[in-house]
């Protein structure tokens, strides 16, 4: 089973990249299932119902969110309405939506779970380790292919989650930092791991926002309006090959697709 997971989609450049590349990967058989992190798809802040539809039309099967999950008021109902859009599993009880989704593939069910780190994240979350342990107790018997999106800032917390779930899930893939790491590997126990998938959006930027505005903020400390950049659009993510019979990962391949510049 070939699964693509796409790193944080930022604004309209990211959505355009996602649609072009995911559609191509699906058409030529490189990806049968596409999971995408959409926490920055609405101009950097959250998602809307319309944009979720756009991403599904562009090839996504499951959308995960992150700390920007509640940024768009309009989208709050979406999380209870559409089970294909998930927020982190370990958010406090009472939040809209669910932290996991299962889809039926040609080779059986595949589950996607999102976890939120608690180091330097600025969002209230319960313990992701305990939340995942509970989820596995309830669900591991019914589904073998399990992809975990570990949305966190701290590398150590992501690596620790990879170790915690080693041999128990198909993949632990990090999101949130928008900078792709080069540590992709499949462990001897059959879990694919990568600390951060990177960003799908404008790379001539500071993690997706226009450089000038971010520099002004850092250098002067003055508030500035952050806008989505436009140059050097890339798709970052990873391609997994899973054994559906065991749920083990056989292969992980890091992806960087550079889109042609509109100026040529
Ligand atoms: Fe994030
Ligand atoms: Fe993000």
Cα–Cα distance, 110 to 34 (Å, whole number): 11
Domains of the chain with CATH codes:
2-258 (3.60.21.10)
Residue 163: in which H helix or E strand, if any?
A: helix 155-164
pLDDT for position 263: 61
Number of the ligand closest to the Cα of 9: 2
Distance 107 CA to ligand 2 centre (A): 31
Which residues sit with Cβ closer than 5 angstroms to ligand 1, an ion? Answer: 66-67, 176
For 132-145, write each residue's pLDDT tens digit.
999 999 999 999 99
Number of the ligand closest to the Cα of 67: 1
For 92-107, write each residue's pLDDT tens digit.
999 999 999 999 999 9
pLDDT for position 235: 98
Helices (H) then strands (E): counts for the chain? 6, 14
Active-site position among 68, 151, 178, 236: 68
pLDDT for position 15: 97
Number of the ligand closest to the Cα of 117: 1
Give the residue ranges of the chain where pLDDT is below 70.
Answer: 262-264
Distance 107 CA to ligand 1 centre (A): 31
Distance 175 CA to ligand 2 centre (A): 7
pLDDT for position 209: 96
pLDDT for position 13: 97
Number of the ligand closest to the Cα of 41: 2
Distance 90 CA to ligand 1 centre (A): 15
Cα–Cα distance, 191 to 168 (Å, whole number): 7
30 close to 1: Cβ distance less than 8 angstroms: no
pLDDT for position 112: 98
Phi (first) and psi of residue 207, to 5 degrees = 40, 40
Active-site annotation holds for 68: yes
| Cross-strand partners of 235 | 257
Q: Which residues contact 63 (CB under 8 A, 6 or more apart)?
A: 35, 36, 37, 38, 47, 52, 55, 56, 84, 85, 86
Stated pTM of the model: 0.97
The torsion of the CA quartet 248, 160, 6, 124, rounded to 10 degrees, works out to: 130
Distance 140 CA to ligand 2 centre (A): 28
Distance 263 CA to ligand 1 centre (A): 31
Cα–Cα distance, 132 to 138 (Å, whole number): 10
Phi (first) and psi of residue 65, to 5 degrees = -115, -135
Residue of 59, 68, 70 lying closest to 32 (CA atoms)? 59
């Amino acid at each position: 089973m070939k699964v693509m997971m796409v790193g944080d989609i930022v604004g309209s450049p990211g959505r355009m990249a996602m649609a072009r590349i995911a559609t191509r990967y699906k058409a030529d058989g490189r990806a049968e299932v596409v999971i995408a992190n959409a926490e920055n798809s609405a101009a950097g802040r959250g998602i809307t119902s319309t944009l979720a539809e756009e991403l599904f039309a562009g090839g996504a099967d499951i959308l995960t969110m992150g700390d920007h999950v509640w940024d768009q008021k309009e989208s709050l109902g979406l999380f209870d309405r559409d089970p294909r859009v998930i927020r982190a599993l370990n958010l406090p009880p009472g939040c809209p939506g669910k932290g996991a989704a299962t889809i039926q593939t040609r080779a059986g069910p595949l589950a996607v779970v999102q976890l939120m780190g608690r180091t330097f994240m600025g969002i209230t979350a319960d313990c992701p380790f305990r939340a995942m342990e509970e989820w596995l107790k309830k669900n591991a018997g019914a589904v073998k292919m399990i992809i975990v999106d570990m949305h966190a800032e701290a590398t150590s917390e992501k690596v620790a989650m990879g170790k915690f779930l080693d041999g128990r899930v198909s993949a632990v893939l990090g999101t949130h930092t928008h900078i792709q790491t080069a540590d992709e590997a499949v462990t001897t126990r059959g879990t694919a791991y990568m600390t951060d998938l990177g960003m799908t959006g404008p790379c001539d930027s500071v993690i997706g926002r226009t450089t000038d505005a971010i520099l002004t903020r850092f250098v002067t400390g003055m508030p500035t309006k952050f806008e989505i950049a436009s140059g050097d659009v890339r798709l970052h993510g990873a391609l997994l090959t899973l054994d559906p019979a065991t749920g083990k990962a056989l292969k992980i391949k890091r992806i960087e697709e550079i889109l042609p510049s509109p100026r040529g």
